[in-house]
Copies of this chain bind each other. A is one copy, B any other.
Amino acid sequence: MPGEPRTLRLQHGNRIEALCVLGGHVRADVFGAAPAGAVAFGVKHTEGVSVDVLFHGHAEPEAVAGASMRWPLDEGTVLRFSMSRASSEVNDNKVTVSFYADGGKPINQTGVFLTGVGISLDVDADRDGVVEKNSPNKASWAWGPKGHGAILLVSCDKEFPFIPPSDCDSEQVFNREDLLDMAQMVLRTEGPQRLPRGYEIVLSVSVSDADKVGVFHVQNPFFGQRYVQVLGRRKLFHAVPYPGGDAELDFFVEGLRFPDETFSGLVSIHVSLLEPLAEGIPHSPIFTDTVVFRVAPWIMTPNTLAPVNFFVCSMKDNYLFTKEIGSLVAKASCKMKVCFGYVNRGDRWMQDEIRLGYTHAPHNSFPVVLDSPRERGMEQLPIKELLGPDFGYVHKEPLFEALASLDSFGNVEVSPPVSVAGREYPLGRILIGSSFPVSTGRRMTRLVRDFLYAQCVQAPVELYSDWLAMGKVNEFVTFVPASDKKRFRMLLASPAACYRLFREKQKEGQGEATMFKGYWGIDTKRITINKVLSNEVLAQQNQYVQRCIDWNRDILKKELGLLEEDIIDMPALFKLDKHGKAVPYFPNTVTMTVLARDLGIPKPFGPMADGECCLEQRIRMLLEPLGLHCCFLEDIASYHGSLGEVRCGTSVQRRPFAFKWWHFTP
């Protein structure tokens, strides 16, 4: 039992042998071991041992080494001894207790031969990339800059091109790269060349941790470095041959699962020293040392982080679009990755299928794609195209629930770093679209929501997106970088802003300016500012939409600590379908893609006044002062026509945060 003195039973009239683990205490009941008629006792011991005599828990002055003192024999009198140096030979130390009758006549003796052994299971508890020796913090975990505790990565990447799907499904290590994903764990031992017969050192994990952690050890140092799994799903314990003398054995540890509702992220690994008694009698542990790891979370990357790779599907009908956006991507100096037909199998909604994030530990970090439970054709992309060396993959597959459109990742957003009433969120906060408190409306699959909550470092905020036909938060909110001290702005779709703009234009005599010029797929009758403003039904519907957005606006201001001036209202109009759910009236400009300072914005096809679209003009006016470049992309045929926009068809892998998640305190 770590920390606690171990109880040893002396027997008068014979000597016993015992192993004494350095740093540990051994207690022996003197009174219980005394022969009948004994009234006092004395203790002798070798230098390597230090001995206390305890009366009812209170210590007496320690007996001088070699010398002999006497104490009255009393119920509850115990000896406590410990060793500070490891033995070079078995039984090279001893403690002898002599019992005395009334008048001081020696009656009998008892004693114990001791062998000092040092055992320590060590990890990088101070997170500096070095495995320190026997850290006092190795068995616990604490968040924050002053915190401590070792960290594991889920080896959900794939260093080796063949099956199984990803490294953490494999019980073999195929190359050194694989080890770099793993946390190092060192078993340090010191003592005689061999242990007394029958003693065993055993590494173990509990049944409940076995499916969450894997431990690897070199199998045969002589014939090439081959590493095999010694603890894991099917291996709860592993006997470690005692190396003898001073030794360090290296182990490599990987996480098998990200935290989720039923898994806090913490796992423990134990090393125990087992003592034999006799044939046919089970061994019993006399010492256990424990280390604790936390599995690193999956972290989302907001629009304000620099883009690295840009993903888009190549479809029959989006050649022009990809060409246009291609130049934008080049401008943002990030790589364009096109997902072709044989992989996307007719599914264009990149953003809904995958969400690119990363995972991070002091020893390593790599991007990880979260694969949506939604399966509409593209499910091969993440595994076939993304998963690979230092590119991880995680998939959430609900067992029972039916999937709703709210499960698409268009319905998951993450804010830039925010500070809310003094509370810092240096990794931002996740936004999840859900339904009103007062309705049985659609919600995101429990499994995905629970997964996002369980990552702990980007405290999710639930918004109300069920009022939309597609029900996705990215239809009304997004974030853009800004060059001023606030560093970002929140953009919200705003019918009110659109009506305000249109009324201004009307006053300026532009009431007959026409929308949807060169736009196909909508009925051809001429739609003017006047027509829009005079449409009572549309006005009421947009008043309702504005309320739904305002509800979210109030939540976002509170949960992200935003002021009015941190918010930009983007002119937008919606209409309600026959189920009373909102769909964009013209291409929805907030559903843009953000590549550093370059914005790929759905071309709104607004009213043309003086040969210019007054919506584009207004949006430029709002965003360019922040140092942003607006590029309006025609996405009618390719996306808008099927109720999506630019952003829904694309996905961006971004550079990770510089901030270390373990410095955050949930």
Residue numbers of A with Cβ under 8 A of B are 1, 3-7, 9, 32, 36, 56-57, 76, 78, 202, 204, 206-208, 236-237, 261-262, 270, 272, 274-275, 277-278, 280-282, 284-286, 288, 436-440, 443, 446, 467, 496-497, 500, 503-504, 507, 540-541, 543-544, 546-548, 550-551, 553-555, 557-558, 563-565, 576, 580
Contact = CB atoms under 8 A, between A and B. Distances in A.
B9 A76 contact: no
A496 B1 contact: no
A274 B438 contact: yes
Nearest to A547: B284
10 contacts: A1-B551, A1-B555, A3-B558, A6-B554, A236-B440, A237-B438, A237-B440, A277-B540, A281-B541, A285-B437
Contacts of A57: 563-565
B564 A76 contact: yes
A546 B496 CA distance: 79
A277 B543 contact: yes
Nearest to A54: B564
Nearest to A202: B438
A272 B206 CA distance: 47
A270 B438 CA distance: 8
A56 B563 contact: yes
A9 B563 CA distance: 17
Contacts of A440: 207, 236-237
A558 B4 contact: yes
A557 B5 CA distance: 10
A496 B270 contact: no
Contacts of A9: 496, 543, 546, 550
Nearest to A569: B32
A496 B5 CA distance: 18
A268 to B, nearest CB: 9
A78 B564 contact: yes
A565 B56 CA distance: 7
B507 A550 contact: no
A50 B62 CA distance: 78
A280 B563 contact: no
Contacts of A236: 439-440
Contacts of A278: 540, 544
Instruction: Give the interface centre of A274, A439, A543 by most chain B CB atoms within 10 Å.
Output: A439
Contact of A551 (B285, B497, B504, B550): B285
A67 B249 CA distance: 84
A36 B504 contact: yes
